[in-house]
């Protein structure tokens, strides 16, 4: 192991070849060789700070955080509890750096609890990486990352969501004549798939829906989503009172549902299937095919106050606010 020492009174392990100027190092944290931590930094308990890590003054690191080799944490960066930062991941805190010209205040970058950042990823200044999110190796992140989202590429875009079971809506069984018998149940509270009739003759095909028989509410508004670039994500909100009924009348798109405790992911690709999203269920739409046309029926006219657009506010509203 070589020559090693313990910080007096802190309960943290510090390698003799590390330079730790901060006195705010939590118990059982391990700081390895050639790491340098400046006086103002705050490091929580049970962390692992690997070789050749540099941490500036205005940096806050939570508990049980792992920072792998070659990572530099600049002023304005916060890593919450249980964050993982892979080797050589790069952060910045100044969107327009100039030599010997320090900004009045550095942008704040926040990596939320449980998020992971892969090796060699680049995180642009001033962004938030959502709780439980995953930034894959080498991704270049230029926008905020939503909770539990998986992002990849340059620029990074959402390619999936963690801890979200996939519900199979397509396939031979779903396409059978008795469609309603085959539609699976959803975990998100109150959400439900509905089979819509299909009538085919020599003139073509027709699907329809009737209030009560197929639609669980009386629509007061509709809107159509189309021409969405594949990498874009829509929705990312919940409604306090409004119900929605989604039908992908052409092409396909993927829907993620979240009631604060249970999650579902499913792909809508047929006008024979409608999805009812009740109030207080977080909804996301992504992976639109180039020809996708999504019809949405709503139980109320537009009301900006009915939307919950911040995920933490949503969790608080459904009683699952983070500790």
- In this prediction, residue 1 carries a pLDDT of 37
Distance CA 203, CA 255 (A): 32
Q: Has residue 2 got a pLDDT over 60? A: no
pLDDT mean across residues, the chain: 92
Q: Has residue 4 got a pLDDT over 90? A: no
| Confidence grade of residue 181 (pLDDT, cut at 50, 70, 90) | low
Distance CA 311, CA 18 (A): 39
- What number is the average pLDDT over the span 127-145? 97
- In this prediction, residue 157 carries a pLDDT of 96
Structure token digits, residue 199: 């009538």
Does a cis peptide bond (omega within 30 degrees of 0) precede residue 176? no
Domain residue limits, the chain: 166-317
Distance CA 60, CA 56 (A): 9
Give residue for tokens 């189309």.
Answer: 226
Q: Has residue 10 got a pLDDT over 80? A: no
* Interval 243-285: pLDDT, tens: 999 999 999 999 999 999 999 999 999 999 999 999 999 999 9
- In this prediction, residue 180 carries a pLDDT of 45
Distance CA 80, CA 10 (A): 20
Q: Quick one: what percent of the chain has pLDDT higher than 70?
A: 92
Q: What is 166-317's CATH topology? A: Jelly Rolls (2.60.120)
180 φψ region: left (φ > 0), alpha (ψ -120 to 50), beta (else): alpha
Give residue for tokens 């299937």.
Answer: 273
Least confident of 84-88, 103-107, 274-278: 103-107
Largest CA distance in the chain: 85
What are the distances in angstroms from CA 118 to CA 83, 113, 121, 240?
11, 15, 6, 36
| Confidence grade of residue 104 (pLDDT, cut at 50, 70, 90) | confident
What are the distances in angstroms from CA 259 to CA 13, 106, 163, 190?
42, 36, 13, 9
Q: Has residue 287 got a pLDDT over 70? A: yes
Query: Quick one: DSSP state of residue 148?
Result: T
User: Given 15, 237, 239, 276, which residue is catalytic?
Assistant: 237
| Confidence grade of residue 213 (pLDDT, cut at 50, 70, 90) | confident
* Interval 29-60: pLDDT, tens: 999 999 999 999 999 999 999 999 999 999 99
Question: Has 237 been annotated as catalytic?
Answer: yes
Among candidates 110, 108, 58, which has minimal Cα distance to 312?
110
Q: Indicate whether this model's pTM tops 0.85.
A: yes
- In this prediction, residue 155 carries a pLDDT of 95
Asked if 55 and 73 count as a contact pair (C-beta separation under 8 A), the reply is yes
Q: Has residue 9 got a pLDDT over 60? A: no
């Amino acid at each position: 192991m070589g020559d090693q020492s313990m910080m007096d009174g802190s309960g943290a392990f510090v390698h003799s070849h590390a330079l730790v100027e901060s006195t705010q190092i939590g118990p059982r944290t391990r700081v390895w060789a050639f790491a340098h931590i400046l006086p103002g930094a705050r490091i929580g308990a049970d962390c692992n700070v690997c070789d050749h890590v540099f941490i500036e003054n205005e940096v806050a690191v939570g508990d049980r955080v792992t920072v792998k080799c070659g990572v530099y944490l600049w002023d304005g960066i916060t890593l919450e509890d249980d964050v993982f930062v892979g080797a050589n991941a790069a952060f910045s805190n100044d969107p327009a750096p100039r030599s010997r010209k320090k900004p009045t205040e550095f942008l704040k970058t926040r990596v939320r609890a449980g998020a992971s950042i892969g090796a060699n990823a680049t995180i642009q200044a001033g962004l938030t990486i959502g709780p439980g999110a995953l930034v894959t190796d080498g991704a270049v992140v230029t926008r905020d990352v939503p909770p539990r989202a998986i992002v990849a590429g340059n620029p990074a875009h959402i390619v999936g969501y963690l801890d979200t079971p996939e519900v199979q809506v397509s396939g031979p069984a779903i396409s059978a004549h008795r469609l309603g018998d085959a539609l699976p149940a959803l975990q998100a509270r109150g959400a439900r798939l509905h089979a819509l009739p299909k009538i085919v003759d020599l003139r073509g095909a027709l699907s329809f829906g009737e209030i009560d028989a197929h639609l669980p509410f009386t629509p007061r508004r509709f809107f159509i989503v189309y021409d969405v670039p594949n990498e874009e994500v829509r929705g990312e909100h919940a409604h306090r009172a409004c119900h929605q009924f989604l039908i992908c009348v052409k092409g396909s798109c993927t829907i993620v549902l979240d009631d604060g405790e249970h999650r579902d992911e499913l792909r809508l690709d047929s006008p024979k299937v409608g999805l009812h999203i009740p109030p207080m269920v977080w909804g996301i739409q992504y992976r639109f095919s180039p020809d996708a046309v999504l019809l949405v029926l709503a139980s109320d006219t537009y009301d900006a106050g009915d939307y919950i657009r911040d995920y933490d506010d949503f969790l608080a509203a459904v009683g699952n606010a983070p500790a």
